[in-house]
Amino acid sequence: MSGFSSIGKRLLRFEDRRFLTGQGAYLDDIVAPRCLHAHFLRSPHAHARIRAIDAREAAWLPGVRGVYRGADLAAMAKPLRMAPPIEGLKPTEIAPLPVDKVRFQGDPVAVILADDRYIAEDAAELIAVDYEPLPAVTSFAEALSPSAPKVDETLDDNLVAHQSFATPGCARVFAEARRIVTRRFVQNRVTHAPIETRGCLAIWDEGRQHLTFHVGNQAPHPYRTQLAARLGLSESQVTVIAPDIGGAFGQKIALYREELACAALARATRRPVRWREDRMENLAAASHAREDACVTRAAIDAQGRILALDVAIEEDFGAYCFFPGNYLARVVALMTPGPYRIRDYAYDVRVALTNKCGAGPMRAPMSMTSWIMEGTLDAIAAELDADPADIRRLNMIEARELPYVTVTDQRLEDITPRETLEGALAHLDYAAARARQRADRARGILRGLGICVVVESTTYGSAFYKSAGIPGSGHETAVVKVEPSGAVNAAVGLMASGQGYETALAQAVAEGLGVDPATVRLQIGNTDVAPYGMGSRGARGATAGGGVLYLASQALGEKIRTIAARELGLNDIGELRLAAGRIERRLAGAWEATRLSLTDVARIAYLDPLRLPPGLEPGLEVHKAYEPPAMTFSNATHVCEVVVDARSGRIAIERYIVAEDCGTPLNPMLVEGQQIGAVAMGLSGCLSEHVVYDRDGQNLSTTFADYHLATAVEIPHIEIVPMHTPNRSTPAGVKGMSEGGVMGAIGALANAVDDALRPLGIRAEALPLTPIALRRLIRTATRRSAP
Amino acid sequence: MKRVPVTLDVNGESHALSLEPRRLLSDALREECGLTGVHVGCENGVCGACTVLIDGAPARACLIFAVQMQGHAIATIESVARGGALSPLQQALHEEHGLQCGFCTPGLVMTMEAWLKDNPDPDETAIRAALSGHLCRCTGYQSIVAAVKRAARIARERA
Ligand code: FES
Ligand code: FES
């Protein structure tokens, strides 16, 4: 990881100052004159027909400028058709706003435009909607029962996606296996809960016939493509501008119906229209995630070697497909074998629609992957009374087996699972921890250790999407410019929501070019300025975004050196470099300053082009696209030590360790921030978060007093052990990261709690592990065993 | 709805306003006074993003009507960096990477600025308890805890 001058430096963030002083410009901070405020009236029913909507009284309220229903919006915008040609996936369609039926509690049924938000909300109370309530489907099992009401009436049933796979020998291995270990895992429905809710500001320019749409979105260009198409506009008639984003985590990728409605109504009313979602709407109606259950079966030999693995996943996808139904669970199935030698494998993935808020990707969309694999390894260890670390060692691929192609055709290369496993265990002093556990168990104290090895698929290349049967492209684009004054502007098709791109990506540009990162200005989030890119999703920012910026900057650096060589009368640019904005020349092995600076070269390139070497275009600007490998992985091992209080069910996390290999870190401080933040999100989801629906489909968790995000008291101190090694196939050896922490935390914590509960003969198969849930489990177990 | 006159004294400046009695202080500060550093994350007093100081004590601007503030001195995040220099807490948050998206930052800075005055030498447990009234979805709190510790040290050294 040496040889870099900007990459790998612990630079403090350039973006901090505006956030620390209250000068950040988030969506709702943008002012537009004559603006109307949108408010959405939402369904109180989980499932109901809309018979009639009477908005007359609301429309008379002073300050109300209009009330629009689904039928009105249908004339202004097109539906979202989700029909990628994928086997096992049923096509679905979402209207701009529901017209004749609502499908979950919180579904928008009408939108009010008023002079302010207070009036708009008053008006909502005056609208009378005549509903005919229908029976609601509130679980996966219910959804698939033959008598279930149909959530989407255009489909034959509620099974929206079904895909399966098996190696030819898999069934036989199971048939002949001496031992089969089975384990069930139930993940809780959670939601992203960025502290800034959703919102938008739509400004229609009637003269230019142009829409400027401000929205805190992670992928502004794909968003623009869809927004323009659904409004019947060309992509040159729409500019999407993403301001500072107060957290996104996957919730700010889709074009939501509320946003589409604001855009359509700005055009229809010729007035700016803004929407600020409130927290209740965000928790009830934005996007949810992760409600899936999985059963694994492992055929093993007497030592605990896995001979075959079978994984059955069921996902409750909610009422609408803003993403293809197989988008998340399918990747879980593909990635589950992880770094283990599994030659026979089968999976079955079923995704059902229910009357709940639609699901989408949330930081670590494949969050369950590591938990189900590592939990299965723990089940094998328990079955054989073996040490869980030894079972992992027995099954894990070794460095000399790399590159290793998994049974689902994932090529594992430049990863270090064994190293991080041993690194994390050593950091904990595993033997001492097991000794603590034995001593505590003898005294009736429930102490547990959890291990979770993570192989994080960070950067999805186009080849992966194609072979996995999910829609998408993995390339990324960048423009790097040195302006006539020597100032550096760099643009890329990503959008930040807290990752620190303005610093980390500036470091990638600075490295490629040979300038001080502080002189690089990153231009992101404006579709007119940045080139068309695929946006920020997964953990692709550093590899795809940093990678393409680095490559573009290197190419621009070469042009700069070519011009400088001619000025200095040299033939070979290899003897020149740019460092801190000065052209340097190698003389007798040492770098020495020349008379030229970057500014001198820039002036020639722009203002005196006749001096340029033959064949070079005027100006200093490079546009580049980069297609990353099919898949890039980082990897880690999480280890967690807990004590469960048998009386209260409370979990005390005494140690939490992450040994991680994220490749070349662009900025190690930011990498550590992402690691800790991801672990915290995983722990929070595992400890306390839960979107709860009752049997009628009423959401019972629509305030932060009911939906519990972990605070500074619940999140422990997290110990990070950096074990980075570069990737040889990506620019600068970057691997990317930011989601693995979530995966590892869920697995490590759940495994630790199971380990703690082992003396009681129970395990906690369902998340979240709240004190109430654990106490109930423990009580049932101890009552059962009582004489 | 009828508007009533109220004068808000914010960051040492007075704003003579005419507001509906139901208008939240958070909205009035953001929209009438232009102080958009006051962030709104939940509007029911849980997340802490809207925290301001009222007569020196932290309070949630989303739980107060603006018209109640006649005669009180309000301070927002915009007043913390004096003469452009970051406060020790702001500087420490910068150095410890105590913020990512920055949306929770203004609120927790206001709470902890006041808290550090009363708790000049806090330990980690106390800091975590004091921070527990603020939700941060990005950082996992660890770097914020470190920043508060560092700020306390800087303030003690300066004193
Ligand atoms: S907005 Fe006031 S506490 Fe959340
Ligand atoms: S930094 Fe994003 S919520 Fe705290």
Distance from CA of B1 to the nearest CA of A (A): 9
pLDDT of residue A281: 98
Structural domains in chain A plus CATH codes? 16-22+475-626 (3.30.365.10), 32-134+197-245+252-285 (3.90.1170.50), 288-463+630-785 (3.30.365.10)
Residue A787 pLDDT > 60? no
Q: Across the interface, do A12 and B80 touch by the CB < 8 Å criterion?
A: no
pLDDT of residue A1: 42
Give me the residue from A25, A673, A709 closest to B137, CB to CB. Answer: A709
pLDDT band at A2 (very low <50, low <70, confident <90, very high): low
pLDDT of residue A786: 60
Question: What CA–CA distance (Å, rounded) separates A150 from A627?
Answer: 41
Nearest ligand to the CA atom of B147: 2
Tokens of A11: 């630079």
Ligand 1 centroid, distance to B119 Cα (angstroms): 24
Instruction: Give the C-alpha distances (Å, rounded to integers) separating B115 from A22, A152, B63, B131, B151.
Output: 19, 53, 20, 10, 12
pLDDT band at A668 (very low <50, low <70, confident <90, very high): very high
ω into residue A403 within 30 of 0, thus cis?
Answer: yes
Q: Find how far residue A56's CA is from the centre of its chain.
A: 43
Q: Which of B94, B112, B136, B145 to mutate to test the pocket of ligand 2 (most atoms within 8 A of CB)?
A: B136
B137 Cα nearest atom in ligand 2: 3
Ligand 1 centroid, distance to A36 Cα (angstroms): 24
Nearest ligand to the CA atom of A19: 2
pLDDT tens, position by position, A369-392: 999 999 999 999 999 999 999 999
Q: Across the interface, do B49 and A195 touch by the CB < 8 Å criterion?
A: yes
Closest CA to B26 of B66, B83, B73, B86: B66
User: In angstroms, what is the C-alpha Rg of chain A?
Assistant: 28
Ligand 1 near B138 CB (within 6 A): no
A593 CB-near residues (< 8 Å, 6+ apart): A582, A583, A584, A585
Tokens of B98: 């105590």
Residue A153 pLDDT > 90? yes
Provide, rounded to the nearest whole percent, the portion of chain A with pLDDT above 70: 99
How much is the average pLDDT of B39-44? 97
Q: Which of B25, B27, B46 to mutate to test the pocket of ligand 1 (most atoms within 8 A of CB)?
A: B46
Place of tokens 């996943």: A313
Cβ contacts of A279 on chain B, cutoff 8 Å? 41-44, 47
Distance from CA of B89 to the nearest CA of A (A): 10
A775 CB-near residues (< 8 Å, 6+ apart): A647, A648, A649
Phi/psi region, residue A609 (left: phi>0; alpha: psi -120 to 50; beta: rest), is alpha
Tokens of A167: 């190696």
Question: What CA–CA distance (Å, rounded) separates A365 from A351?
Answer: 14
Ligand 2 centroid, distance to A9 Cα (angstroms): 23
pLDDT tens, position by position, B71-115: 999 999 999 998 889 999 999 999 999 999 999 999 999 999 999
Cβ contacts of A500 on chain B, cutoff 8 Å? 100
Distance from CA of A232 to the nearest CA of B (A): 34
What rounded mean pLDDT belongs to chain A?
96
Q: Across the interface, do B22 and A118 touch by the CB < 8 Å criterion?
A: yes
Nearest residue in chain A measured CA to CA from B82: A21
Give me the residue from B77, B131, B142 closest to A21, CB to CB. Answer: B77
pLDDT of residue A104: 98
Tokens of B14: 């007075």
Nearest ligand to the CA atom of A13: 2
Tokens of B70: 């006649």
B108 Cα nearest atom in ligand 2: 4
Question: What CA–CA distance (Å, rounded) separates A763 from A437?
Answer: 17
Q: Are A769 and A749 in contact (CB under 8 A)?
A: yes
Q: Across the interface, do A713 and B129 touch by the CB < 8 Å criterion?
A: yes
Q: Across the interface, do A22 and B37 touch by the CB < 8 Å criterion?
A: yes
Instruction: Give the C-alpha distances (Å, rounded to integers) separating A241 from A17, A238, A524.
Output: 22, 10, 9
Give me the residue from A20, A197, A276 closest to B94, CB to CB. Answer: A20
Question: What CA–CA distance (Å, rounded) separates A83 from A89?
Answer: 8
What are the residue boundaries of the structural domains of chain B, listed by start? 4-79, 88-158
Collapsed DSSP state (helix, strand, coil) of residue A779: helix
Instruction: Give the C-alpha distances (Å, rounded to integers) separating B150 from A9, A350, A674.
Output: 22, 51, 21
A246 Cα nearest atom in ligand 2: 2
Question: What CA–CA distance (Å, rounded) separates A412 from A398?
Answer: 11
Interface probe with B: pick from A9, A10, A16, A23, most Cβ of B within 10 Å: A16
Interface probe with B: pick from A17, A195, A252, most Cβ of B within 10 Å: A195
Question: What CA–CA distance (Å, rounded) separates A180 from A344?
Answer: 14
Question: What CA–CA distance (Å, rounded) separates A430 from A503?
Answer: 38
Tokens of A785: 């065993």
pLDDT of residue B51: 98
Q: Across the interface, do B100 and A677 touch by the CB < 8 Å criterion?
A: yes
Ligand 2 centroid, distance to A246 Cα (angstroms): 7
Nearest ligand to the CA atom of A246: 2
Ligand 1 centroid, distance to A708 Cα (angstroms): 15
A194 Cα nearest atom in ligand 2: 3
Where do runs of H (alpha helix) occur along chain B? Answer: 25-27, 88-95, 105-118, 124-131, 142-158
Q: Across the interface, do A21 and B81 touch by the CB < 8 Å criterion?
A: yes
| CB–CB contacts below 8 A, A to B | 170
A247 Cα nearest atom in ligand 2: 2
pLDDT band at A330 (very low <50, low <70, confident <90, very high): confident
How much is the average pLDDT of A143-156? 97
Residue A228 corresponds to which amino acid? A
Q: Which of B99, B108, B131, B144 to mutate to test the pocket of ligand 2 (most atoms within 8 A of CB)?
A: B99
pLDDT of residue A498: 96
Question: What CA–CA distance (Å, rounded) separates B70 from B73?
Answer: 9
Cβ contacts of A705 on chain B, cutoff 8 Å? 44, 46
Question: What CA–CA distance (Å, rounded) separates A239 from A224?
Answer: 7
Closest CA to A690 of A709, A707, A715: A707
Provide the CATH number for the domain formed by B4-79 in this structure. 3.10.20.30
Ligand 1 near B101 CB (within 6 A): no
Tokens of A576: 């020149």
Q: Please, which residues bridge with residue A478 across strands?
A: A492, A624
Q: Please, which residues bridge with residue A81 across strands?
A: A93
Q: Of the CATH numbers 1.10.150.120, 3.40.50.300, 1.10.1060.10, 3.30.420.60, which one belongs to the domain with range B88-158?
A: 1.10.150.120
Q: Across the interface, do B139 and A17 touch by the CB < 8 Å criterion?
A: no
Query: What residues flank ligand 2, with Cβ below 6 Å?
Result: A 195, 247, 498; B 99-104, 136-139
Collapsed DSSP state (helix, strand, coil) of residue B33: coil
ω into residue A768 within 30 of 0, thus cis?
Answer: yes
Q: Across the interface, do B135 and A195 touch by the CB < 8 Å criterion?
A: yes
Question: What CA–CA distance (Å, rounded) separates A380 from A361?
Answer: 31
Instruction: Give the C-alpha distances (Å, rounded to integers) separating B67 from A501, A534, B26, B27, B50.
Output: 41, 47, 12, 12, 17
Q: Across the interface, do A26 and B36 touch by the CB < 8 Å criterion?
A: yes
Residue bearing the CA closest to ligand 1, atom 3: B45
Residue A213 pLDDT > 90? yes
Collapsed DSSP state (helix, strand, coil) of residue A216: coil
Tokens of B34: 């232009």
Q: What is the four-CA torsion angle of A106, A108, A114, A117, rounded to 10 degrees?
A: 20
Interface probe with A: pick from B36, B124, B138, B148, most Cβ of A within 10 Å: B138
Question: What CA–CA distance (Å, rounded) separates A453 from A161?
Answer: 29
User: In angstroms, what is the C-alpha Rg of chain B?
Assistant: 16
